[in-house]
Protein backbone atom coordinates (compact mmCIF):
# COMPACT_ATOMS: atom_id res chain seq x y z
CA UNK A 1 0.00 0.00 0.00
CA UNK A 2 1.46 3.34 -1.07
CA UNK A 3 -0.55 5.58 1.30
CA UNK A 4 -3.04 5.25 4.13
CA UNK A 5 -4.62 7.93 6.30
CA UNK A 6 -7.37 7.58 8.84
CA UNK A 7 -9.16 10.68 10.08
CA UNK A 8 -11.38 10.15 13.10
CA UNK A 9 -14.23 12.54 13.75
CA UNK A 10 -14.92 11.55 17.32
CA UNK A 11 -12.36 11.95 20.08
CA UNK A 12 -11.74 9.80 23.18
CA UNK A 13 -13.82 12.33 25.13
CA UNK A 14 -16.80 11.58 22.87
CA UNK A 15 -16.50 7.87 23.66
CA UNK A 16 -16.29 8.57 27.40
CA UNK A 17 -19.47 10.65 27.16
CA UNK A 18 -21.09 7.93 25.04
CA UNK A 19 -20.21 5.35 27.70
CA UNK A 20 -21.79 7.55 30.38
CA UNK A 21 -24.94 7.91 28.26
CA UNK A 22 -25.15 4.13 27.80
CA UNK A 23 -24.75 3.53 31.54
CA UNK A 24 -27.34 6.21 32.34
CA UNK A 25 -29.77 4.80 29.79
CA UNK A 26 -29.41 1.30 31.22
CA UNK A 27 -30.08 2.73 34.67
CA UNK A 28 -33.22 4.53 33.46
CA UNK A 29 -34.27 1.47 31.46
CA UNK A 30 -34.43 -0.56 34.70
CA UNK A 31 -36.69 2.17 36.11
CA UNK A 32 -39.11 1.81 33.18
CA UNK A 33 -38.05 4.93 31.29
CA UNK A 34 -37.39 3.76 27.73
CA UNK A 35 -37.17 7.12 25.92
CA UNK A 36 -33.39 7.09 26.31
CA UNK A 37 -32.94 3.90 24.27
CA UNK A 38 -33.37 5.58 20.84
CA UNK A 39 -30.73 8.14 21.83
CA UNK A 40 -28.30 5.37 22.71
CA UNK A 41 -29.02 3.54 19.45
CA UNK A 42 -28.32 6.73 17.46
CA UNK A 43 -25.21 7.42 19.51
CA UNK A 44 -23.87 4.01 18.50
CA UNK A 45 -25.01 4.01 14.84
CA UNK A 46 -23.77 7.51 13.93
CA UNK A 47 -20.12 6.82 14.85
CA UNK A 48 -20.25 3.47 13.05
CA UNK A 49 -21.48 5.12 9.84
CA UNK A 50 -19.67 8.48 10.01
CA UNK A 51 -16.96 8.20 12.70
CA UNK A 52 -13.95 8.12 10.41
CA UNK A 53 -12.67 8.79 6.93
CA UNK A 54 -10.19 6.21 5.62
CA UNK A 55 -8.16 7.00 2.51
CA UNK A 56 -5.77 4.47 1.05
CA UNK A 57 -3.86 4.30 -2.21
CA UNK A 58 -2.59 1.05 -3.64
CA UNK A 59 -0.91 0.39 -6.95
CA UNK A 60 -4.28 0.32 -8.75
CA UNK A 61 -6.92 2.01 -6.59
CA UNK A 62 -7.67 5.08 -4.50
CA UNK A 63 -10.04 3.83 -1.81
CA UNK A 64 -12.21 6.25 0.22
CA UNK A 65 -14.38 4.90 3.04
CA UNK A 66 -16.63 6.64 5.54
CA UNK A 67 -17.34 4.99 8.86
CA UNK A 68 -16.31 1.62 10.21
CA UNK A 69 -18.90 -0.50 8.40
CA UNK A 70 -17.75 0.00 4.81
CA UNK A 71 -21.28 0.86 3.64
CA UNK A 72 -20.18 4.24 2.27
CA UNK A 73 -17.12 3.82 0.10
CA UNK A 74 -15.72 4.86 -3.25
CA UNK A 75 -12.98 3.22 -5.27
CA UNK A 76 -11.34 5.32 -7.98
CA UNK A 77 -8.96 3.54 -10.35
CA UNK A 78 -5.54 5.20 -10.29
CA UNK A 79 -5.45 5.22 -14.10
CA UNK A 80 -8.54 7.49 -14.05
CA UNK A 81 -6.66 10.24 -12.16
CA UNK A 82 -5.24 12.59 -14.78
CA UNK A 83 -4.11 15.32 -12.37
CA UNK A 84 -3.84 15.91 -8.61
CA UNK A 85 -2.94 19.00 -6.63
CA UNK A 86 -3.14 20.36 -3.11
CA UNK A 87 -5.95 22.84 -2.50
CA UNK A 88 -7.46 24.86 0.31
CA UNK A 89 -11.24 24.92 0.16
CA UNK A 90 -14.12 26.26 2.24
CA UNK A 91 -16.19 23.27 3.38
CA UNK A 92 -19.15 25.28 4.69
CA UNK A 93 -19.34 27.84 1.91
CA UNK A 94 -18.50 25.64 -1.08
CA UNK A 95 -19.95 22.27 0.01
CA UNK A 96 -22.38 22.97 2.83
CA UNK A 97 -20.19 21.26 5.42
CA UNK A 98 -18.08 18.18 5.87
CA UNK A 99 -18.95 14.64 4.79
CA UNK A 100 -19.74 13.29 1.36
CA UNK A 101 -20.76 16.48 -0.43
CA UNK A 102 -21.19 18.12 -3.81
CA UNK A 103 -20.66 21.78 -4.53
CA UNK A 104 -18.78 24.29 -6.63
CA UNK A 105 -15.02 24.71 -6.43
CA UNK A 106 -13.16 27.07 -8.76
CA UNK A 107 -16.44 27.63 -10.62
CA UNK A 108 -16.89 23.95 -11.48
CA UNK A 109 -19.06 21.15 -10.11
CA UNK A 110 -16.93 19.19 -7.65
CA UNK A 111 -17.47 16.32 -5.23
CA UNK A 112 -15.88 16.34 -1.79
CA UNK A 113 -15.04 13.69 0.79
CA UNK A 114 -13.96 15.37 4.03
CA UNK A 115 -14.06 14.86 7.76
CA UNK A 116 -12.59 18.10 9.10
CA UNK A 117 -10.23 20.87 8.11
CA UNK A 118 -9.97 22.85 4.89
CA UNK A 119 -7.02 21.29 3.02
CA UNK A 120 -7.06 18.39 0.65
CA UNK A 121 -6.15 17.00 -2.73
CA UNK A 122 -8.17 17.92 -5.83
CA UNK A 123 -8.34 15.00 -8.24
CA UNK A 124 -9.18 15.68 -11.85
CA UNK A 125 -10.42 12.48 -13.44
CA UNK A 126 -10.66 11.09 -16.96
CA UNK A 127 -14.15 9.78 -16.23
CA UNK A 128 -17.14 10.90 -14.19
CA UNK A 129 -17.75 9.38 -10.78
CA UNK A 130 -20.90 9.62 -8.68
CA UNK A 131 -20.60 11.68 -5.52
CA UNK A 132 -23.90 12.07 -3.68
CA UNK A 133 -26.42 12.33 -6.51
CA UNK A 134 -24.09 14.16 -8.88
CA UNK A 135 -21.67 12.85 -11.48
CA UNK A 136 -18.44 14.81 -11.73
CA UNK A 137 -14.88 14.47 -12.93
CA UNK A 138 -13.47 16.56 -10.05
CA UNK A 139 -13.20 15.30 -6.48
CA UNK A 140 -11.59 16.84 -3.42
CA UNK A 141 -10.33 14.42 -0.78
CA UNK A 142 -9.88 16.27 2.52
CA UNK A 143 -6.83 14.91 4.33
CA UNK A 144 -4.59 16.01 7.19
CA UNK A 145 -1.41 15.53 5.17
CA UNK A 146 -2.09 16.36 1.51
CA UNK A 147 1.65 16.48 0.80
CA UNK A 148 1.97 12.78 1.68
CA UNK A 149 -1.01 11.88 -0.49
CA UNK A 150 0.42 13.85 -3.43
CA UNK A 151 3.77 12.13 -2.95
CA UNK A 152 2.11 8.69 -2.98
CA UNK A 153 0.13 9.52 -6.12
CA UNK A 154 3.29 10.76 -7.82
CA UNK A 155 5.16 7.60 -6.82
CA UNK A 156 2.64 5.41 -8.66
CA UNK A 157 2.75 7.49 -11.80
CA UNK A 158 -0.09 9.98 -11.42
CA UNK A 159 0.56 13.49 -12.75
CA UNK A 160 0.72 15.82 -9.76
CA UNK A 161 1.09 19.56 -9.38
CA UNK A 162 2.58 20.00 -5.92
Cross-strand bridge partners of residue 8: 52
The answer, yes or no, to whether residue 137 has pLDDT greater than 80, is: yes
pLDDT at 49: 75
Instruction: Tell the burial category of 16 from Cβ atoms under 10 Å away from its Cβ (0-12, 13-18, 19+).
Output: exposed
Distances, alpha carbon 93 to alpha carbons 42, 63, 72, in Å = 28, 26, 24
Chain-wide mean pLDDT for the chain?
86
- What span, in angstroms and rounded, lies between the C-alpha atoms of 128 and 83? 14
Query: Model confidence over 73-103: pLDDT tens digits?
Result: 999 999 999 999 999 999 999 999 988 999 9
57 vs 79: CA distance, rounded Å: 12
Residue 11's pLDDT band (boundaries 50, 70, 90)? Answer: low
Residue ranges of domains in the chain = 10-49, 78-161
What pLDDT was estimated at residue 144?
Answer: 94
Angstrom distance (rounded) from CA 15 to CA 102? 30
**Given pLDDT bands bounded at 50, 70 and 90, which one contains residue 13?**
low
Look at residue 57 and tell me whether its pLDDT is greater than 90.
yes
Q: What percent of the chain stands above pLDDT 90?
A: 52
Amino acid sequence: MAYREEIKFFSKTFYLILGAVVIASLYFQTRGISAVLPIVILAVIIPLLFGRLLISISEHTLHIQFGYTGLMKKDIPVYAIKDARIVTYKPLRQFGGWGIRCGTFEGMKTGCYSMRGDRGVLLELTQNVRVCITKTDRVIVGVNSPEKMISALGAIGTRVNA
